[in-house]
C-alpha cells in the first residue's frame, strides 16, 4: 500500500513538472486574451476616465460613496495598465526583456488591484448597509474622513501582500507565466480564497439586506429614488459575482490539482480554465461602469433636488 501510494505521488509530481501549456493551448489562451483584454482595456479606460472627470470636476461632492468610488476607479485604471504587459508576456512566451523589477511591478499591479477592487466593493456594500439599515449608527461610523482612512488602510494591506512577489521572483526570463513559488507552499492562493470567501459573504449579506429594506420603502412610498438605489445595489452584486466567482472556483480547482487531490489528467485543462477566468475577471473594469453610471445619476438627482429646494427657499 505504501509503495503504491508513493508511486501515485511520483506520477502526480511528474505530471506537475510537465504542466506547461502546449502550443495549441497557449495559442488559445493568447487569442482569448486578445478578444477579452483589448476591448476591456479600451472601453475601461474611456469609462473610468469619464467617471473620474465627472466626480472631480462636475459633482465636486466628496461624500463617503464618492471617496470609495474614486478609489475603485483608480484600482480599475491600474489594473487596466497591467493588461498590455500581460498580453505581451504571453506573446513572447516567457522571453521577457523588460526587466525583472518591472515584471514584478506589473504582476503586482494586476493582482493587487484585483483584490483592491474586491475589497473596495465590500467597503461600498458595508457603507451602504450601515447608511440604510442603521441610520442612527451611521452618524458615528460614516464620514468622509473615516472613508479615506479605510481606503488608506486597504491599500497599505493589499500592497504589503505583494512584497513576497518582489522577494521570490528574481529571474528575467519569465513574467505572468511561471508562478512555482506562488503555488508550492499553497499559503498565498489559500489566503486569496479566504479573502474572497469572507468578502463575498459580506457583500451578499449587505446587498440582500439593503434590497429588502429598499423594496419595503418602495412599496410604501412608490419612490423612484428607491428603485434607482435598488438598481445600484443589484448591479454591484451581479458584477461582483459574475466577474470574481468563476476565477476563484478555478483557483481552488487548480490548487487541488497542484496538490494531487484531483486526477493529473485535468491539470493542464484546469490551468487553461484558470487563465480564461482570469481574463473574464478583468471585465469588471468595464462592468463597474454600470455602477458608476447609476450612482452618478443618483448623486446628480440629489444635487438638482437640493438646488431646486435652495432656489425655492430664496424665492419664497
pLDDT in tens, 6-27: 544 554 554 454 556 667 777 8
| Distance (Å, whole) CA 265 – CA 282 | 28
pLDDT of residue 17: 47
pLDDT of residue 209: 92
CATH of 23-170+184-300, one of 3.40.250.10, 1.20.1070.10, 3.90.550.10, 3.20.20.80: 1.20.1070.10
The DSSP output letter for 265 is: G
Give the three cell numbers for residue 292.
Answer: 458608476
| Distance (Å, whole) CA 96 – CA 134 | 52
Residues of the chain with pLDDT under 70: 1-22, 93-94, 168-173, 178-183, 185, 218-226, 228, 294-295, 297-316
Give the three cell numbers for residue 124.
Answer: 461600498
| Distance (Å, whole) CA 104 – CA 82 | 11
User: Model pTM?
Assistant: 0.84
pLDDT of residue 304: 62
45, exposed or middle or buried, with CB in 10 Å at 0-12, 13-18, 19+?
middle
Boundaries of every domain in the chain: 23-170+184-300
Amino acid at each position: 500500500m505504501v509503495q503504491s501510494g508513493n508511486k501515485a505521488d511520483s506520477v502526480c509530481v511528474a505530471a506537475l513538472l510537465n504542466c506547461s501549456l502546449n502550443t495549441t493551448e497557449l495559442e488559445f489562451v493568447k487569442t482569448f486574451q486578445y478578444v477579452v483584454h483589448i476591448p476591456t482595456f479600451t472601453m475601461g479606460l474611456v469609462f473610468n476616465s469619464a467617471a473620474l472627470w465627472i466626480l472631480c470636476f462636475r459633482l465636486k461632492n466628496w461624500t463617503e460613496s464618492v471617496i470609495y468610488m474614486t478609489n475603485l476607479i483608480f484600482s480599475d485604471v491600474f489594473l487596466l495598465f497591467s493588461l498590455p504587459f500581460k498580453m505581451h508576456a504571453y506573446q513572447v512566451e516567457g522571453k521577457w526583456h523588460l526587466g525583472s523589477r518591472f515584471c514584478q511591478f506589473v504582476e503586482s499591479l494586476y493582482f493587487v488591484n484585483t483584490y483592491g477592487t474586491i475589497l473596495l466593493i465590500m467597503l461600498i456594500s458595508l457603507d451602504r448597509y450601515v447608511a440604510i439599515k442603521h441610520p442612527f449608527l451611521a452618524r458615528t461610523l460614516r464620514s468622509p474622513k473615516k472613508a479615506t482612512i479605510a481606503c488608506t488602510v486597504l491599500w497599505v494591506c493589499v500592497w504589503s501582500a505583494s512584497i513576497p512577489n518582489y522577494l521570490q521572483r528574481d529571474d528575467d526570463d519569465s513574467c505572468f507565466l511561471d508562478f512555482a513559488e506562488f503555488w508550492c507552499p499553497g499559503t498565498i492562493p489559500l489566503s486569496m480564497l479566504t479573502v474572497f470567501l469572507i468578502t463575498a459573504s459580506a457583500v451578499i449579506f449587505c446587498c440582500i439586506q439593503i434590497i429588502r429594506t429598499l423594496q419595503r420603502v418602495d412599496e410604501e412610498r412608490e419612490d423612484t429614488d428607491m428603485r434607482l438605489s435598488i438598481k445600484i445595489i443589484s448591479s454591484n452584486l451581479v458584477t461582483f459575482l459574475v466577474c470574481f466567482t468563476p476565477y476563484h472556483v478555478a483557483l481552488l480547482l487548480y490548487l487541488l490539482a497542484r496538490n494531487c487531490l484531483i486526477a493529473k489528467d485535468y491539470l493542464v485543462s484546469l490551468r487553461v480554465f484558470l487563465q480564461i477566468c482570469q481574463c473574464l475577471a478583468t471585465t469588471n473594469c468595464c462592468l463597474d461602469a454600470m455602477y458608476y453610471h447609476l450612482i452618478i445619476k443618483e448623486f446628480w438627482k440629489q444635487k438638482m433636488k437640493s438646488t431646486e429646494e435652495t432656489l425655492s427657499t430664496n424665492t419664497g
